[in-house]
C-alpha cells in the first residue's frame, strides 16, 4: 500500500512538471474578477454557494482526470471519500453537486456560455477560450 501511494505521488509530481498551471476560471461576465483560495475551497466543499449575491455553478472534470487529481490535491486538500460525504450531505440540504465534464474543452465551453459558472482548467485552455482567470494555482 505504501509503495502504491509513493508511485501515485510520483505520477502527480511528473504530471505537474509537464503541465500548464492550473487556474480557476469563469466566463467573462462572472460577478467578480478574482477569488481567493478560501472562497474556492468553500465553493467546492459545499460551504459557500453564492459570491456577491450570485448563485455559483461549480463544475468538475471526471473522477479519473489528471487535472481533477491536481485540483483536489493542491486546491481543495480533501480526500475523495470526504468530498463524496460532503456533497451527499449538501444534496439533502437542497444543493447540487458540481456538474462533471469529460474534458477541459467541454468545461471551458460550459464556462464561456453559462453565467456564474466556475471551474478549473489549465491556463492555456483558459486563454484559448477567453475565460476570466480568477485564481492561479501555486503548485
Percentage of residues in the chain with pLDDT exceeding 70? 85
CA distance 45 to 72: 11
Q: Which residues of 73-94 are buried (b: 16+ CB within 10 A; e: fewer)?
A: bbbbebeeeebeebbeebeeee
Give the mean model confidence (pLDDT) for residues 22-35.
96
pLDDT at 12 over 90: no
pLDDT at residue 5 in the model: 45
- Among 10, 38, 13, which residue's Cα sits nearest to residue 24? 38
CB 56 within 8 A of CB 116: yes
Regarding the domain delimited by 21-136, which CATH topology (the fold level of the hierarchy) does it fall under?
Answer: D-Maltodextrin-Binding Protein; domain 2 (3.40.190)
What pLDDT digit, counting tens, does each position of 64-111 carry?
999 999 999 999 988 888 888 898 888 888 888 899 999 999 999 999
Amino acid at each position: 500500500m505504501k509503495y502504491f501511494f509513493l508511485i501515485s505521488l510520483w505520477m502527480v509530481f511528473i504530471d505537474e512538471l509537464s503541465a500548464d498551471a492550473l487556474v480557476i476560471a469563469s466566463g467573462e461576465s462572472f460577478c467578480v474578477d478574482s477569488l481567493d483560495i478560501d472562497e474556492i475551497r468553500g465553493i467546492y466543499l459545499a460551504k459557500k454557494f453564492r459570491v456577491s449575491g450570485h448563485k455559483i455553478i461549480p463544475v468538475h472534470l471526471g473522477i479519473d482526470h489528471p487535472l481533477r487529481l491536481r485540483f483536489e490535491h493542491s486546491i481543495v486538500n480533501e480526500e475523495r471519500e470526504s468530498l463524496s460525504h460532503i456533497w451527499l450531505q449538501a444534496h439533502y440540504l437542497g444543493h447540487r453537486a458540481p456538474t462533471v465534464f469529460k474534458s477541459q474543452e467541454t468545461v471551458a465551453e460550459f464556462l464561456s456560455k453559462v453565467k456564474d459558472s466556475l471551474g478549473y482548467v489549465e491556463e492555456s485552455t483558459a486563454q484559448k477560450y477567453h475565460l476570466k482567470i480568477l485564481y492561479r494555482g501555486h503548485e
